Structure 1
Amino acid sequence: MEAISKNFFLYLSNNKVLDRLAKRFGANFGADKIVGGETISQAIPLIQQLNHEGLHVTVDHLGEFVYSEEEAKERTQECIRSIQAIAHHGLQSEVSLKLTSLGLDISHELVMENMELILQEAGKHDITVTIDMEDSARCGPTLDIYKELKATYPNLGTVVQSYLYRSDQDLDDLSPYDPYLRLVKGAYKESGKVAFPEKRLVDDNLKHLIKKNLLNGHYTAIASHDDAIIDFTKQLVQDHNIPNDRFEFQMLYGMRNETQAKLAEEGYKVRVYMPYGEDWYGYFMRRLAERPANIAFAMKGIFSK
């Protein structure tokens, strides 16, 4: 049943008709409960409120799979505007981005040029940028770009997905770069040739990756809503005397708000992943596919006032 649910929402995430309807009627269906608005200006008051509550943020301008240089350059400028807004308002926030939105599928030269512009601006303001992970076909190129840039730009992170078989080896390959990693389960539809087919195996591998990266001494963001993963991490850091400034918990904006607040009260660093922009539909469907319990969280958030 879980596999059917996941496949259903992944199918919906690629439905162009529903995507157009979502953009047109998003607010009517609770899009404002899961995204920070259509512009960074609309997101700023929400970030300020989260910061006031003791929570950190990472913002992400929604959109991917850009196929023109002009659009890739505009997405680059949007990232730069986000960085400038964060700095101007003194927000406790980072920036996340997808390489396909910056021209990964067009040319290596274009995506590198755009990343350099973003990272130069982020460096001026000491703001961390995280490269989001996309589907398995783009995993290798994404990590290669991360490694290429990390030597010059230390405030750079990326993502490793536990549902991929390759992720354990990826941690080994990334370790010499002292990586800042967000560890997640993964939310794209993948073949059994490259990804674990069962949730239990994905969960077990996520625990393994968390332990490995933390014991390797690298900063680790545990991006999960699962109590079992959260409890595992809390016990792990206690058993190995890992200080709280070496890791953080990350959760999605609009989901598990009480858990976010409780973790912050307990002294853990908590970061809220806040997307903004019009292209929220595919993002939302993948979140529902990623974890069936998210459906309940989302519906409660959407229909509660």
Structure 2
Amino acid sequence: MLKDVFMALSKNQLLTSAAKKYGLKLGAQTVVAGTNVEDTIKSIRELNALGISATVDNLGEFVFERSEALKAKESILEVIEAIQANGVDAHISLKPTQLGLDIDYDFCYENLYEIVAAASKYDMHINLDMEDYGHLQPSFDLIDTLSKEFSNVGTVIQAYFYRAQDDIEKYKDMRLRIVKGAYKESVEHAYQTKQEIDANYIKLIEYHLLNGKFTSIATHDHNVINHVKKFVEDNQISNDKFEFQMLYGFRKDMQVDLAKEGYNFCTYVPFGDDWYGYFMRRLAERPQNLNLVVKQVFNKRTNTAIGVFAGAFALSQLVSKKKK
């Protein structure tokens, strides 16, 4: 039920629009590294100083106007150049829908091609984030075409999909981020229970650690992390074959501790003002994330569940006052 609520909030256009205007007042900087490239580079430097690399996401998705997709492309190209110019340890994560997948497949491919080509000059990795089931196969099609010419592309495998095992076997020679999945999917395509998803998640991680090129294990779950630590030790898997990933602003102490222990660690660094839907989906993906960051984002004096709804209410109130 809680997951459904967060997913509904993530799609609320009124709240999303308000978040763009009032995000910093509500503490969005806790989960967003910056609203511009300069601030984002500064945040990456701070992570690098702790021995942590970054994958940078220009927030925004489900774009239906060519002008918006082109603007997003230019923003990503700007970040690529800024990463190179500043010598920070970072690469790019992006969503095909932000670059026009819902507008025209060829248009999206052209935008992606330009980005991947620009990053390739600097040997910089580009990760295509996966979205909901309706965009899954077209996104893999984009990967298939791009990988014929470029070696600096990778993607995401979502453990809640039944097809995930087939996908991870097909793309085992590619750098992959393995996640549980953050969208609401039907029983026709995806596992529904936490137990099923968690079991498949571990299975996929172990498969790619043993057979894949490089594995990014994206989780805040210390039980999964401890399982992976033991698995790589038991199977003599080198640390240079994998990394742990967490979201910016989540479990900061654990991020630093894992880096200090000698594990490769990468923080998913979102920037921009389109943060609200992204954040709500992170809570839908794993409601336990409430205990990690929501108190900081909304109201330290409220409990976590109330804090989320207080944040949504605050946004709606700000909109109402603005209209008056």
TM-score normalised according to structure 1 size: 0.96
C-alpha distance in structure 1 between counterparts of 2:142 and 2:76, whole Å: 18
State the percentage of identical aligned residues. Answer: 43
RMSD: 1.1
> Aligned residue for 2:215?
220
User: Do the aligned partners of residues 269 and 300 (structure 1) sit closer, same or farther apart at CA in structure 2, a change above 3 Å counting?
Assistant: farther
Deviation at 1:32, TM superposition (A): 0.5
- Residue 280 (structure 1) aligned with residue 306 (structure 2): no
SS at match of 1:273: strand
TM-superposition CA deviations, 1:233-282 (whole Å, max 9, x none): 11111111110000000000000001101101110011000100111000
- Is the CA contact 2:174–2:212 (under 8 Å) kept in the aligned structure 1? no
> Aligned residue for 1:179?
174
- Is the CA contact 1:164–1:194 (under 8 Å) kept in the aligned structure 2? yes
> Aligned residue for 2:94?
97
Q: Which of the numbers 17, 21, 25 marks the counterpart of 2:22?
A: 25
> Aligned residue for 1:59?
56
C-alpha distance in structure 1 between counterparts of 2:15 and 2:231, whole Å: 42
C-alpha distance in structure 2 between counterparts of 1:113 and 1:65, whole Å: 17
Q: Displaced runs of 4+ in structure 1, greater than 6 A? A: none
Q: Which of the numbers 110, 114, 119 marks the counterpart of 2:116?
A: 119
SS at match of 2:157: strand
Matches within 5 A, 1:1-305: 4-175=1-172, 178-302=173-297
SS at match of 1:154: coil
Deviation at 1:84, TM superposition (A): 0.2
- Is the CA contact 1:147–1:174 (under 8 Å) kept in the aligned structure 2? no
Farther-moved stretch of structure 1 (229-238 vs 82-91): 229-238
SS at match of 2:216: strand
C-alpha distance in structure 1 between counterparts of 2:92 and 2:14, whole Å: 30
C-alpha distance in structure 1 between counterparts of 2:138 and 2:270, whole Å: 24
- Is the CA contact 1:254–1:301 (under 8 Å) kept in the aligned structure 2? no
Amino acid aligned to 2:78: R
C-alpha distance in structure 2 between counterparts of 1:50 and 1:193, whole Å: 40
SS at match of 2:171: helix
Deviation at 1:300, TM superposition (A): 4.0
- Is the CA contact 1:62–1:276 (under 8 Å) kept in the aligned structure 2? yes
Deviation at 1:173, TM superposition (A): 2.0
C-alpha distance in structure 1 between counterparts of 2:157 and 2:195, whole Å: 18
SS at match of 1:145: helix
C-alpha distance in structure 2 between counterparts of 1:277 and 1:119, whole Å: 21
Deviation at 1:222, TM superposition (A): 0.1
TM-superposition CA deviations, 1:126-161 (whole Å, max 9, x none): 111100010011111111111211121111110010
- Is the CA contact 2:34–2:43 (under 8 Å) kept in the aligned structure 1? no
Count of aligned pairs between the two proteins: 299
- Is the CA contact 1:162–1:202 (under 8 Å) kept in the aligned structure 2? yes
C-alpha distance in structure 2 between counterparts of 1:241 and 1:151, whole Å: 32
- Is the CA contact 2:179–2:217 (under 8 Å) kept in the aligned structure 1? yes
TM-score normalised according to structure 2 size: 0.90
Deviation at 1:193, TM superposition (A): 1.1
SS at match of 1:272: strand
